[in-house]
Chains A and B, each alone.
Chain A
Amino acid sequence: MAPLVRLAGVGKTFDTGVTALSGLDLTIDEGEFLSLLGPSGCGKTTALRIIAGLDAPTEGAIETTARTAGEGGLSFVFQDPTLMPWATVADNVWLPLRLAGVSRRDAAARIQAELARVGVADFAKALPHELSGGMRMRVAIARALITRPRLLLMDEPFAALDEITRFRLNDDLRGLWRETGCTVVFVTHSVYESVYLSTRLAVMTRRPGRILHEFSVDLPAERNEALRRDQFYLDLCAQASAALARAQGEGVR
Chain B
Amino acid sequence: MRRPAHRLATVLLPVGVLALTGLFWEALVRHYAIPPYKLPAPTRIAQALAEDAPLLFGALAVTLRLTVAGFAAALVGGVVLAILLTRSRWAALAFSPYAVILQVTPLVAIAPILVIYAGPTATIYLSVFIVAFFPVLAGAMAGLRSADPQLADLFALGRASPWRRLLLLELPSAVPFILAGVRTAGGLSLIGAIVAEFVAGSGGSDAGLAYRIVEASYRLNVPRLFAAVALICAAGLVLYAAVALSCAALLRRWQPDRRG
Contacts and interface: CB of A to CB of B under 8 A. Distances in A.
Interface string B185-223: 000000000000000000000000000000000000000
Contacts of B260: 132-133
A85 B255 CA distance: 7
Given A84-B172, A133-B260, A96 B151 contact: no
A133 B257 CA distance: 9
Nearest to B153: A54
B172 A86 contact: yes
A77 to B, nearest CB: 10
A80 interface: yes
Contacts of B159: 69-70, 99
B154 interface: yes
B154 A129 contact: no
A95 B175 contact: no
Contacts of A108: none
B164 interface: yes
Q: In terms of DSSP, what is the predominant structure of the interface of chain A?
A: loop
B158 A129 contact: no
A78 B150 contact: yes
A81 to B, nearest CB: 8
B150 A85 contact: no
B259 A85 contact: no
Nearest to B151: A82
Contacts of A133: 259-260
B257 A129 contact: yes
Interface string A93-107: 001101110000000
Interface in B42-95: none
B172 to A, nearest CB: 5
Interface residues of A, number: 29
A136 interface: yes
Most buried by A among B156, B157, B259: B157
A57 to B, nearest CB: 17
A84 B151 contact: yes
A73 B71 CA distance: 47
A99 B155 contact: yes
Contacts of B155: 99
A128 interface: yes
Contacts of A53: 157
A76 B258 contact: no
A127 B255 CA distance: 9
Contacts of A127: 253, 255
B175 to A, nearest CB: 7
A49 B253 CA distance: 31
Interface in A61-75: 69-70, 74-75
A230 B47 CA distance: 91
A96 B160 CA distance: 9
A74 B256 contact: no
Nearest to A78: B150
Given A85-B255, A86-B253, A54 B157 contact: yes
B24 interface: no
A128 B256 CA distance: 9
A86 B150 contact: no
A81 B253 CA distance: 17
Contacts of B172: 84, 86-87
A96 B158 CA distance: 6
Contacts of B164: 99
Nearest to A67: B157
Interface in A36-55: 49, 52-54
A82 B148 contact: yes
Given A52-B157, A95-B168, A127-B253, 5 more contacts: A69-B158, A70-B158, A74-B157, A82-B150, A128-B257
Interface of A: 49, 52-54, 69-70, 74-76, 78, 80-87, 95-96, 98-100, 127-129, 132-133, 136
27 contacts: A53-B157, A54-B153, A54-B156, A75-B157, A76-B153, A76-B154, A76-B157, A80-B150, A82-B148, A82-B150, A82-B154, A85-B254, A85-B255, A85-B257, A86-B172, A95-B168, A96-B157, A98-B168, A99-B155, A99-B159, A99-B164, A127-B255, A128-B257, A129-B255, A132-B260, A133-B260, A136-B257
Q: Which 7 A-B pairs have the closest CB atoms?
A: A99-B158, A69-B159, A82-B150, A129-B255, A78-B150, A86-B253, A99-B160
